């Protein structure tokens, strides 16, 4: 981190007599005392545990300085920066650091596909620039400034993922990061409980333009009618992506289990991504559009997409020692995303049978039952021969599927019966079978994936 102690004090308007300490270089910033290394700045955040109580542990690990907002007197031997709110101090410091380092900022949000799109975009831009991206899911009011303050000095293009579950959260993140390019992957139903409707979700996602440069680029899906009216009158360049009537328009050539091949309108070049599904082609179109905007040659864009590495737990193909193929997509879920995955999975070639394990989609509000039930339209016994449903919200789907599936093809387990689900799945699956697992992260289907791999 290219910052000194005095520089941080001035940027965050620290109120104590910090000039009693000689200025020195800080080596990094951490809010988890367990991650502190020599010369770091410690940010003690107040949450379930007050980070101030871990100051001794941080000191033992060699921290160089710390923000401080607790009533308790800080350690006298430690360079301290007294602030009103340690989180706000970190956010203010991130704003200062962006202004100092001046990378091009790319912001990505959406109901699904944010992380995959971030990974694809970083891989494309890295073909020509020094890049840094959000690590894991550090995409909120803590994770985003933390990401900014962790970018290497030489970073030219910074790719930031922005998450939200309430209105005004993307607005804050956009104003903080002041992006030059912004993209919305899709509008689904995630967090509809807090936002009231898909229209409410679309409005919340469009908050990404509040900090977007007037000379910047906004990318939206061409097929999403809720977004198009919200772009009227905006000063930025608006471009669409998709499969019909889009500025960046794709035609799928071949869809396989572990890769998808497609071409785009106006080009003879063939693109390949090492992930399945039409929805992932949509994510790739965002990366292509950003690459084109930044004048990266098409050949480099093609190479970046072909070799990109997906963040763990996002549409991950795994294989057991007995040959069972697992499509693990257990990090998040909403009806639109689940339906897209099932449509893709239903068409994948296999020597065995296709099996689906579907868990509750959380935070869908009062219409949760009907939304879960709507998934039935994307399940057909001729394509997916057995279905295992898990969680109280999946009961509605279970009742509907009874009309399509026999007792030997359809299973239901409540959340306390995860062990029974695992045992049933182990008995059901045979070598050469293919199984997809999809649910909200809170349902813990990653444990089921782990059990299948271990056995």
Residue % of the chain over a pLDDT of 90: 88
Instruction: Say how many CA atoms lie within 13 Å of 213 toward its Cβ.
Output: 11
pLDDT in tens, 89-107: 999 999 999 999 999 999 9
Spatial neighbors of 249 by CB under 8 A, at least 6 apart, are: 222, 241, 242, 243, 264, 265, 285
What is the separation, in whole angstroms, between the first and last Cα of the chain? 44
The whole-number pLDDT of residue 392 equals 96
Dist. CA 437–CA 97, nearest whole Å: 41
Q: Which has more pLDDT, 313 or 157?
A: 157
The whole-number pLDDT of residue 313 equals 57
The whole-number pLDDT of residue 193 equals 82
- Between the alpha carbon of residue 232 and those of residues 208, 227, 236, 237, the distances in Å are 15, 10, 10, 11
The full set of domains in the chain, from first to last, is 3-89 (3.40.1390.10), 103-307 (3.40.1190.10), 316-454 (3.90.190.20)
Instruction: Say how many CA atoms lie within 13 Å of 28 toward its Cβ.
Output: 14
Q: What torsion do the CA atoms of 250, 306, 187, 106 make, to the nearest 10 degrees?
A: -110
Dist. CA 263–CA 271, nearest whole Å: 6
Yes or no: say if 320 and 349 are a contact pair by the CB < 8 Å rule. Answer: no
pLDDT in tens, 3-23: 999 999 999 999 999 999 999
Q: What is the DSSP letter of 212?
A: S
pLDDT in tens, 136-191: 889 999 999 999 999 999 999 999 999 998 999 999 999 999 999 999 999 988 78
Q: How confident is the model at residue 314 (pLDDT cuts 50, 70, 90)?
A: low
The whole-number pLDDT of residue 247 equals 98
The whole-number pLDDT of residue 224 equals 93
Q: Which residue in 171, 42, 112 sits closest to 339, CA to CA? A: 112
Is the pTM here over 0.75, yes or no? yes
Tokens of 370: 């009907």
Work out the average pLDDT over 241-265.
95
Q: What is the DSSP letter of 411?
A: E
Q: How far is CA 169 from the centre of its chain?
A: 15
Is 115 known as a binding-site position? yes
Work out the average pLDDT over 331-356.
92
Q: How far is CA 340 from the centre of its chain?
A: 17
pLDDT surpasses 90 at 319? yes
Q: How confident is the model at residue 269 (pLDDT cuts 50, 70, 90)?
A: very high
Is 441 known as a binding-site position? no
Work out the average pLDDT over 125-134.
98
Dist. CA 60–CA 36, nearest whole Å: 9
Q: How far is CA 370 from the centre of its chain?
A: 26
Is 113 known as a binding-site position? yes
- Between the alpha carbon of residue 299 and those of residues 267, 291, 306, 307, the distances in Å are 11, 11, 11, 13
Dist. CA 147–CA 145, nearest whole Å: 5
The whole-number pLDDT of residue 195 equals 87
The whole-number pLDDT of residue 310 equals 84
- Phi, psi (5° rounding) for residue 436? -110, 140
Q: How confident is the model at residue 368 (pLDDT cuts 50, 70, 90)?
A: very high
Number of H helices, E strands in the chain: 15, 21
Is 137 known as a binding-site position? no
Is 111 known as a binding-site position? yes
């Amino acid at each position: 981190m290219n910052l000194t102690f005095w520089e941080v004090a001035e940027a965050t308007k620290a109120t104590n007599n910090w000039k009693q300490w000689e200025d020195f270089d800080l080596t990094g910033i951490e809010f988890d005392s367990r991650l502190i290394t020599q010369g770091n700045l410690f940010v003690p955040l107040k949450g379930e545990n007050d980070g101030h109580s871990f100051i001794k542990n941080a000191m033992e690990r060699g921290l160089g300085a710390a923000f401080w907002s607790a009533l308790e007197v800080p350690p006298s031997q430690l360079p301290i920066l007294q602030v009103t709110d340690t989180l706000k101090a970190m956010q203010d410091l991130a704003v200062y650091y962006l202004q100092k380092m001046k990378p091009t900022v790319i912001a990505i949000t959406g109901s699904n596909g944010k992380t995959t799109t971030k990974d694809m975009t970083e891989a494309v831009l890295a073909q020509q620039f020094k890049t840094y991206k959000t690590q894991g899911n550090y995409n909120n009011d803590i994770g985003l400034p933390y990401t900014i303050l962790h970018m290497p000095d030489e970073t030219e293009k910074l790719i930031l993922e922005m998450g939200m579950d309430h209105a005004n959260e993307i607005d804050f993140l956009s104003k903080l990061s002041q992006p030059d390019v912004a993209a919305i992957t899709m509008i689904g139903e995630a967090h509809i409980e807090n936002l009231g409707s898909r229209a409410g979700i679309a409005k919340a996602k469009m908050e990404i333009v509040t900090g977007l440069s007037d000379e910047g680029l906004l990318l939206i899906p061409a097929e999403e009618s809720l977004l198009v009216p919200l772009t009227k009158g905006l000063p930025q360049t608006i471009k669409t992506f998709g499969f019909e009537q889009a500025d960046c328009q794709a035609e799928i050539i071949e869809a396989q289990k572990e890769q998808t091949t497609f071409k785009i309108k106006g080009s003879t070049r063939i693109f390949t991504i090492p992930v399945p599904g039409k929805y992932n082609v949509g994510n790739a179109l965002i990366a292509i559009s950003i690459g084109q905007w930044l004048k990266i040659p098409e050949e480099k864009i093609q190479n970046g997409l072909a070799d990109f590495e997906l963040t763990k737990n996002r549409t991950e193909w795994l294989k057991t020692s007995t040959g069972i193929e697992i499509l693990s997509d257990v990090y998040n879920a909403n009806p639109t995303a689940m339906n897209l995955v099932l449509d893709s999975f239903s068409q994948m070639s296999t020597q065995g049978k296709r099996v689906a394990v579907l868990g509750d989609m959380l935070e869908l509000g009062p219409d949760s039952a009907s939304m879960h039930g709507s998934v039935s339209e994307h399940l057909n016994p001729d394509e997916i021969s057995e279905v295992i449903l898990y969680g109280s919200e999946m009961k509605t789907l279970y009742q509907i599927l009874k009309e399509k599936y026999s007792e030997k093809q359809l299973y239901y387990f409540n959340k306390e019966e995860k062990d029974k689900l695992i045992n049933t799945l182990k008995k059901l699956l045979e070598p050469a079978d293919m199984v997809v697992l999809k649910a909200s992260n809170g349902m813990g289907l990653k444990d089921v994936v782990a059990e299948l791999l271990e056995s």
